Every structure is written in C-alpha cells, then in structure tokens.
Amino acid sequence: MKAISNFSDYQELTQLAENDPQSFWLEMSQKLSWFQAPKIAYQGDFHQANVRWFPDGQTNITLNCLDQQMQQNKDKVAIYFEPNDPKEEAVKLTYEELSQQVQECALALKSLGVKKGDVVCLYLSMRPELLISTLACARIGAIHSVVFAGFSAKALRERIEDCHAKIVITNKTGLRGNKNLNLLATVEEATDGLNFVEKTIIYHRPQDQVQLKDRQLDYNQWVAAFAGQQCPAEKMQGDDPLFILYTSGSTGRPKGLVHSTAGYMLWAKFSFESVFQMKSEKDLFWCTADMGWITGHTYFAYGPLLNGVSQVMFEGVPNYPDASRFWQIIEKYQVSHFYTAPTAIRALEAAGDDYVKPYEMNSLKVLGTVGEPINLEAWNWYHQKVGKSRCPIVDTWWQTETGGIMISTLAGITQPIACHATLPLPGIRPILLNEKAEVQEGANAQGHLCIAQPWPGLAMSIWGDQKRFHETYFSTYPGHYFTGDGAKRDQDGNYRITGRVDDVINVSGHRIGTAEVEDAINLHPQVVESAVVGYPHPIKGQAILAFVTTLNEKQELDQEINQYITQEIGPIAKTERIIFTAHLPKTRSGKIMRRILRKIAHNEVEQIGDTSTLVNPESVEQLINQFHN
C-alpha cells in the first residue's frame, strides 16, 4: 500500500479502511518484514476487549528496525546522541553499529537465561544503552518494561513486583540538568528482598566507578564477552507482547498497558510516516520525550527506526545550561522535524525571546506537539518564534493505550488549525458520545471521545488484569474504546481535545492519577483525608491542588506531605498547592464531592449548583474563600 503523499491519498486510504478494514490492514501489513506473513488482520471485538492483530503472522520488531535497514541504511546515522553536558563528547551510531550493539546485548541477556516471554525492567536515563537494551529485549522476545527514571524507589518496586521482572538494567547516575540522580541506589532500594530479580546490570560512565555487589553486573563487561557476535531475531507471533508500560489510572494502582508485536509495530511505522512526512535523505528527526513515556517508545525508539530515518537522542533538559539548549541542538544537528510537549514550549517562552531569537533554525520543516492541549499563546509562539512562521505544526493527539498518533494534522497534507488535533488518521473512527451514550453529531458537536473500530496500535491488555482492561476502557460505552478525554468537533470534522474527563491530571504532559496522590498524602500520620484535583497552571498546563483535613486544625504540613508524595511516586506528582480545611464537602453517604472541588479549582463557582444535599454545605463557601486567598 502506498504512503500518503497528498490529500487525495489521505481520502483514499480513509475510505478503503472504512469499507473493508480486514483487507486494508492486511494489505498495510505488507509494509513490514515478516518471517511468515499473516493471513488474518484481526480477530475479536471491543465488546469482549479481546482484539488480536496479525495473530498468525511471525515477525520481530528488530527485524524491521535493524535487519531491514541493513539493506539501504547500513551506514546511515541512526542516533546522534547529545549528552546532558554540552562539553561531554557527542556520540553517533549508524544503523549497523546500533544493530551490532543490540545483538551483543541480546546475547548477554540470553547468557543470563532470559527467554521469550520473560520481563526485563529498564530504569535508565536517556542514554544510548537504554535504547540498545530495549531493542535487545525485543530481539530475543523478552518483554521490556521501561520505567521513567524519575519515579521513586517505591513506585519502581511496585512496577517490578507487578510485572515480575527477572532482570533490571540501570545506570549508575542519571544526569538531568545540574542534577545527578543516583539511579543505582533507587534500584537497590526498590529490589531489596525481591528474590525473583536475578540480576541488576549497571551501566556507568568511566568517571562513575561502581563497587559491584551480589547479583550485580557491569554493563560494559557483560556485553564485551559477545563483541562482534550475531544474535538472530526471535520469531514472534504477531500478537505476542512486545512491552509493558505503566500509566496512571483513576485508582491508586498504576496500569501496565501491554502492547503487541505486530499491531503496535505497524501503527508506529504508519503513523510516523504519515504524520511527519520525512521525505528527504537529509531530514533529521528529534523527539524530546524520554523513553520512560509512550512518546519515547513510539516516536523515539520505534517509529523513526522502523522508517530508517536519522534522529537525535538527548539526555538533558530544555533549560540546561540555559533556555537556548533546544535551539542550539536544532542548529548543531540541522534538525528538520522537531517534536516536543506544550509544557516545554511554555517554559521556554516564559524564559524570554532572547534565548530563541539568535537561532535561525533554517533546517526546520515541521513542528509537532504532544501530551496535552496546547493553548493559543504557546501555539503562536511556537509557530512564530521557533518555526519562523514557515513550519506547519502537527498537534498530535494520542495516549499510552493507543500506541501511536490517532488524530493529527499530516504535515503538508492536511490543514493545521491552531490548538486543534484536526483529523483522524486513516482507519481511526472517533465518535463523540454524551453521558447517555447518545452519539453527538453536527457542527460543534461535543462529548466524550471514543473510538468505534479496532486499529492495530491499541494495547492488548493490562498486564495480569484483563478484567480491569475491559472495565476501564470498554464498559462505559459498550462496543467502543473510551479514551477518558473530552473533545469538540467542528463542521469540517476537525477535533479539538478539551482534556481529561476522568480522575487523571495532566501535569506537564505527565498523567497523574488523583487517587495515587491521595493515597500518598493519606500516609501522613496527621492527615485524616484528602481530595486531589487539577487546576490550570501557566507552564505545567495543569497543576495539583490538594484539599486536606488534618487531626489538629491549622497544621501547615505542605513540605512533609510533599515528601510523602516524592517517596511514594516521585517529584513529578508533588502538589502545587495544599488547602487545609476542617471539612471536605460530602454527600450524606459520606462521599467527597470531587466535582465541587474541581469547580472551585477551575474558578467555575457559578456552576457548582445545588449544595443543599450536602451534609456540610457551608464548607463550600469556606473553600472558595480559601482558594482565593
């Protein structure tokens, strides 16, 4: 099937996918390399939440990312690694070098007895070894579970226990701006007493020496034993799991979304190619996301490699050594396609135009955003100051669960509209439903965003909990996948995502479940109960506001409470503000009225409505006053 090169291709593919999805996706699957090509596109349905893609095909994602690339892209640079410290040496890896290093690491994993279906946890900062070990897992059919190296030991332990990882790979020190994170210490604390974790592999830079303890191995020595050797790719069924990635949900326990081998791969390849439209051999991609999140999986690790393009890998943060770092990197490497989060754009805008002005960035062709709704001011700034008003912006809407981009402008092909994700990709059927499950039609429709038809990128399950997978995504609107987002659609079919409609807060583009934060806050011995909501924040998009009742009135425990959160989850989930109160608004049955708290936090007090059914209606007035103080 041809790639999308103009608007009529887009229309044609959309039509074909709608008419006969089975044949469409089967034909699409020919874009991939297979050990054995599939005869079935998918089986199952949304009612059962049991859709399986390409179940009778056999492939391996590294066959496509690496072996396939040896034919034409052997000497092409796959990765330009830019270290946190601009003075440290930058490293290049060609496709051939990457492939070789992955195979050595794959053999090293095998030597420890890791086999197809075993789980390996990766807790590293954005260094090439993270990419290499991730691909090495895929090479031998081990399921990788990358955990963002900013999560606390407690959060890491919870994830390692949930997926029963046999091996943990980490690096001694994670460098982020002027911070040195001792990742190894976090792993040691997280795995203490977990006997099923057989080995911890430690990568370290020459300057960070490590004293190895029991069951620890030095990454460099470990892979050195296999220098120059080959490790053929394991044959995987299309619907074998490729990876687990944890994300927050509306209960306290994070969900390990499981993505499949072939469906995920096809969606990563097709969505990357269609949205970003990297056409010239000179084009260079840069996605700033960390591999600890889905964006780093699909548009750093897999999408670009599947399409044989060159890309930048960046270890650091946007404002180190100063707020021009992104623009320097774009000029240094001549980046053509740049993909980042609105929160980074807002932070860099706030730093002042002087940081961006000196950089012409003539190489830039396409700008992308992901992770949260972008506000008009930030969109304009990105368009004018970064793209110098000549680059289309692709505002890409998608989720950990969806595997890849679902609704987005296709660069140069469909029309961008500020702050709108715009149109669905071919094969994606969005639908807006109201609370009574009635379909919202016509111009200016608004409702809960659902997807009406299977597509290859959707996660297969929640690790070890198929029931929760069904309940979370397929029970609110039977027969549909429910995204948890609200959206609007204009007369031309363009979507604008309005944000989460569930108990998930999007802080700087990171999903945080309110229940997780409440659980952490409630651990403080002085706390009686708490309710957490999101509220608008000029840089973070949303920030966390906690309403807390304590044993002794007038306790100021902000710092201590945030310490609990840092310990339980990590600093990303810290509260922006805590309001201490004697009473939370409750129904007669004792339920905290979070809806009212959300209205207070959004300054929509006129929409609170009738409070007479509460046990303590006077608490509402009091909280409104406190919020404004």
The site for ligand WTA (CB under 6 A) is made up of 247, 293-295, 370-373, 395-400, 421, 483-485, 497, 499-500, 506, 511
Q: Which two tokens stand for residue 500?
A: 């989460």
Task: Give the nearer residue to ligand WTA in terms of CB position, either 100 or 508.
Answer: 508
Distance CA 469, CA 27 (A): 29
Task: Give the nearer residue to ligand WTA in terms of CB position, either 149 or 579.
Answer: 149
Distance CA 135, CA 128 (A): 11
Task: Give the nearer residue to ligand WTA in terms of CB position, either 400 or 549.
Answer: 400
Beta-carbon neighbour count of residue 277 at 10 Å?
A: 20
Task: Give the nearer residue to ligand WTA in terms of CB position, either 141 or 430.
Answer: 430
Q: How far is the CB of 201 from ligand WTA (least distance, A)?
A: 27
Distance CA 531, CA 586 (A): 11
Residue nearest to ligand WTA (CB): 400
Secondary element (H or E) of residue 123: strand 119-123
Q: How far is the CB of 259 from ligand WTA (least distance, A)?
A: 12
Q: How far is the CB of 257 from ligand WTA (least distance, A)?
A: 9
Q: How far is the CB of 323 from ligand WTA (least distance, A)?
A: 23
Q: How far is the CB of 486 from ligand WTA (least distance, A)?
A: 9
Task: Give the nearer residue to ligand WTA in terms of CB position, either 14 or 295.
Answer: 295
Q: How far is the CB of 236 from ligand WTA (least distance, A)?
A: 24
Virtual CA dihedral for 621, 622, 623, 626, nearest 10 degrees?
130
| Residue 434 main-chain phi, psi, to 5 deg | -90, -175
| Residue 247 main-chain phi, psi, to 5 deg | -145, 160
Query: Which residue from 539, 98, 562, 478 is spatially nearest to 308, judged by alpha carbons?
Result: 98
The answer to whether 239 touches 42, Cβ cutoff 8 Å, is: no
Give the C-alpha distances (Å, rounded to integers) separating 291 from 128, 162, 300, 390: 11, 20, 7, 29
Task: Give the nearer residue to ligand WTA in terms of CB position, either 141 or 570.
Answer: 570
Task: Give the nearer residue to ligand WTA in terms of CB position, either 113 or 536.
Answer: 536
Q: How far is the CB of 502 from ligand WTA (least distance, A)?
A: 9
Task: Give the nearer residue to ligand WTA in terms of CB position, either 295 or 414.
Answer: 295
| Residue 493 main-chain phi, psi, to 5 deg | 85, 10
Distance CA 63, CA 68 (A): 6
**Helix/strand/coil (H, E, C) string of 149-191?**
CCCCHHHHHHHHHHHCCCEEEEECEEEECCEEEEHHHHHHHHH
Q: How far is the CB of 517 from ligand WTA (least distance, A)?
A: 16
Give the C-alpha distances (Å, rounded to integers) separating 331 from 79, 284, 366, 512: 16, 11, 14, 34
Q: How far is the CB of 481 from ligand WTA (least distance, A)?
A: 12
Distance CA 138, CA 106 (A): 9
For residue 63, the one-letter residue type is L
Task: Give the nearer residue to ligand WTA in terms of CB position, either 139 or 500.
Answer: 500
Distance CA 250, CA 428 (A): 25
Task: Give the nearer residue to ligand WTA in terms of CB position, either 166 or 500.
Answer: 500
Task: Give the nearer residue to ligand WTA in terms of CB position, either 263 or 404.
Answer: 404
Q: How far is the CB of 160 from ligand WTA (least distance, A)?
A: 21
The alpha-helical segments, DSSP class H, found in 38-87 are: 61-62
What is the sign of the dihedral through the CA atoms of 23, 25, 30 and 35? negative
Q: How far is the CB of 380 from ligand WTA (least distance, A)?
A: 16
